[in-house]
Structure 1
């Protein structure tokens, strides 16, 4: 039977890309990490990583087992948090803020499980695309996404990274064709954001490629922007994690490396070690990891069908 510490090393190497990165995360030496990975591979009878000069890459078996390891991590975290709750008498309110998209996709569906674990902790969800001021007390914790976090005294824990690309609907592609290049966006309907209320770097990047072009449609909501793309109103930047799951959305321009988003859970330093805040953060981090892995797996299943659809649509010049 494998050791739970070996599984933690497996997860850390998978996320960090190397035994060195995993050693820093786990605060143990690199040799110990490598020994734990070897022990786990021996116990399961499988090679889990391909080792190279640039780091460690998951094998097919490793990729398949990663989701199970993340579920075990989430269960272990929940077990530990619940035991701690009995010891510390967890109670109180947490004001959590996020965008509507994140709230609907990731937070609200998880709150039932969180409430079952911590029945005396109440979560008040503040849904807005505006970044509330945690330092000023507008909320206690935020789930935020962007290219980088502003420099501040806030404490952040990274949840993951996400690609953005330009998408349109099948209906739009059938009527207007697909752009043959970024410059060809000038000949298409673009969906824009309404000023600071929709602070998507991908939006600015798209419009910067075709200076002087006015969007055919604008929205001040990320959720509504995605619906506008599905409705065939034009082309806009959409997160690949969700867009790849939509059979009616077609990728017009490949993911832009400089627009790769990250997501964090953020709170004030004086709150991070309070029992109810620690319980929420320790619960939501593995939940996000498992959710992302599941969405990526479903998205992969859609790619072949979408690739065939892209070939079928004409390119504009």
Structure 2
């Protein structure tokens, strides 16, 4: 029989990439996390992580256990939410901010089940591509995707990693073909995107190879960018979890290494242990992780269908 705390440590290290990151997420010291991982590995009889100077990387065996460990996590959360006396009758309001793409694809579908479990917690969505000031009270929590979180008094729970690649519409691919290298981008129509927080790394890489030609259009919204690409205006950089499952889009490149980013749930330190916040984060975090994995799997199946006809160019040497 495995200790649930050992499984929690396993998932936290897998998500955070190190025992240090896991210790911050779990609120325990790093030695405790390392000891729990060693205990679990001893019980299983094989290594879960390869340790290195930059952190801990899942072994093949460890990676194969993630889905089952997350099933246990979801079951434990459901038990706590439904049977735990402290969480019964939780009420109050939460202001959640995120961008339109994340809200529509991942958050709103999850709110149906969350409302069934917690009918007295009212979630207000503040949909914007602007980074609201959580510390100043512009919202209670945020779901953010970034390459690095800014240092602050906020606390964050990592949801997962995202890759970004270049895409065009099927109609665009038929009319103009698909670029075979970054150098070919100068002969294509490109769609740029820049948020209030600044230019996105993937778009910056793409425009670097435009040959000085301006983008055919530029948007400050990821949702508008996706619609522009699907309409056939040109090639744009889109998160793979969003674009790969979409049959209207054609992947034009492998994931861009410099553009890899992570998603986080962020809130204020004084709010993280309130019953309504804990109920929401404990529900939403595993749901979002499952949604990302499901999208990745749908994307792999869909890309396999395209593989015979369209081969995206590699991007490992994009820099």
TM exceeds 0.5? yes
- Structure 1: 5+ residue stretches without partners: none
Q: Is the aligned partner of 1:34 residue 2:50?
A: no
Q: Is the aligned partner of 1:299 residue 2:303?
A: no
Following superposition, the deviation at residue 76 of structure 1 comes to 0.9
Following superposition, the deviation at residue 259 of structure 1 comes to 0.8
Q: Corresponding residue for 2:101?
A: 101
How many residues align? The count is 307
Q: Corresponding residue for 2:60?
A: 59
Considering fraction of residues, name the structure with more helix: 1
Q: Corresponding residue for 2:317?
A: none
* Residues 59/136 of structure 1: CA separation in 2 closer, same or farther (3 Å cut): closer
Following superposition, the deviation at residue 173 of structure 1 comes to 1.7
User: More deviation in 48-57 or 100-109?
Assistant: 48-57
TM-score normalised to the size of structure 2?
0.83
* Residues 56/151 of structure 1: CA separation in 2 closer, same or farther (3 Å cut): closer
Q: Corresponding residue for 1:288?
A: 288
Q: Corresponding residue for 2:205?
A: 205
User: More deviation in 244-253 or 79-88?
Assistant: 79-88
**1:245-300 deviation line (CA, Å, top 9, x unaligned):** 12332222221212111111111222222221122112211111121222222222
User: More deviation in 124-133 or 193-202?
Assistant: 193-202
Asked if the contact 1:165–1:256 (Cα under 8 Å) also holds between the matched residues in 2, the reply is yes
* Residues 31/228 of structure 1: CA separation in 2 closer, same or farther (3 Å cut): same
Q: Is the aligned partner of 1:154 residue 2:154?
A: yes
C-alpha distance in structure 2 between counterparts of 1:116 and 1:312, whole Å: 43
Q: Corresponding residue for 2:184?
A: 184
Q: Is the aligned partner of 1:228 residue 2:191?
A: no
Asked if the contact 2:2–2:40 (Cα under 8 Å) also holds between the matched residues in 1, the reply is no
* Residues 94/20 of structure 1: CA separation in 2 closer, same or farther (3 Å cut): closer
Name the Cα RMSD after superposition: 3.1
Asked if the contact 1:85–1:118 (Cα under 8 Å) also holds between the matched residues in 2, the reply is no
Asked if the contact 1:195–1:220 (Cα under 8 Å) also holds between the matched residues in 2, the reply is yes
Q: Corresponding residue for 1:80?
A: 80
Q: Corresponding residue for 2:247?
A: 247
What secondary structure is seen at the aligned counterpart in 1 of 2:171? helix
C-alpha distance in structure 1 between counterparts of 2:78 and 2:233, whole Å: 43
**1:73-118 deviation line (CA, Å, top 9, x unaligned):** 1221232244456467521110111111111111111112212222
Following superposition, the deviation at residue 142 of structure 1 comes to 0.8
C-alpha distance in structure 1 between counterparts of 2:57 and 2:146, whole Å: 27
C-alpha distance in structure 2 between counterparts of 1:12 and 1:119, whole Å: 29
C-alpha distance in structure 2 between counterparts of 1:187 and 1:74, whole Å: 48
* Residues 4/154 of structure 1: CA separation in 2 closer, same or farther (3 Å cut): closer
C-alpha distance in structure 1 between counterparts of 2:270 and 2:58, whole Å: 38
What secondary structure is seen at the aligned counterpart in 1 of 2:75? helix
What secondary structure is seen at the aligned counterpart in 1 of 2:279? helix
* Residues 199/274 of structure 1: CA separation in 2 closer, same or farther (3 Å cut): farther
Asked if the contact 2:93–2:122 (Cα under 8 Å) also holds between the matched residues in 1, the reply is yes
TM-score normalised to the size of structure 1?
0.83
Q: Corresponding residue for 1:216?
A: 216
What secondary structure is seen at the aligned counterpart in 2 of 1:308? coil
* Residues 295/94 of structure 1: CA separation in 2 closer, same or farther (3 Å cut): same
Asked if the contact 1:197–1:221 (Cα under 8 Å) also holds between the matched residues in 2, the reply is no
C-alpha distance in structure 2 between counterparts of 1:224 and 1:151, whole Å: 30
C-alpha distance in structure 1 between counterparts of 2:311 and 2:153, whole Å: 49
Q: Corresponding residue for 1:130?
A: 130
Asked if the contact 2:94–2:123 (Cα under 8 Å) also holds between the matched residues in 1, the reply is yes
* Residues 145/23 of structure 1: CA separation in 2 closer, same or farther (3 Å cut): closer
Following superposition, the deviation at residue 234 of structure 1 comes to 0.6
